[in-house]
Amino acid sequence: VADIGAGVAWTSAVMSLRPEIAKVYVVEPGKNRLNCAEAVAKHFGAPSEKLVFIDGTFEEPKVPEKVDIVSLCASIHHCWDEEMPKLFENIRNMLIKMNIINT
């Protein structure tokens, strides 16, 4: 999972508690928020080995691998109109391509 605009990472922490989620990339450009994220994750009992904290933005998320899910929980309203095309291009490029077979 890539949690873009994760804030203090409470959503990332909750997602990391799910056994089917192997890793959550916590992407946040705000230094103060990112500095609080580890403490918030610890408060929720999130497994630290599943969380990767990244100083990234909508335009440069810096997620090092493709993911199954991109979360924008309560963050997309911070994305400026001129950043939207790049954000959605990044999301398309970040997602693992799925082959869906109609039966």
In the chain, what are the helix, strand and coil shares in percent, each to the nearest 5? Answer: 40, 15, 45
- Compute φ and ψ for 12, nearest 5 degrees: -60, -45
Interval 10-41: pLDDT, tens: 999 999 999 999 999 999 999 999 999 999 99
- Residue 23 makes CB contacts below 8 A (sequence gap 6+) with 1, 50, 51, 52
Q: Is the pTM of this model over 0.85?
A: yes
Interval 47-86: pLDDT, tens: 999 999 999 999 999 999 999 999 998 787 777 788 888 8
Amino acid at position 64, single letter: P
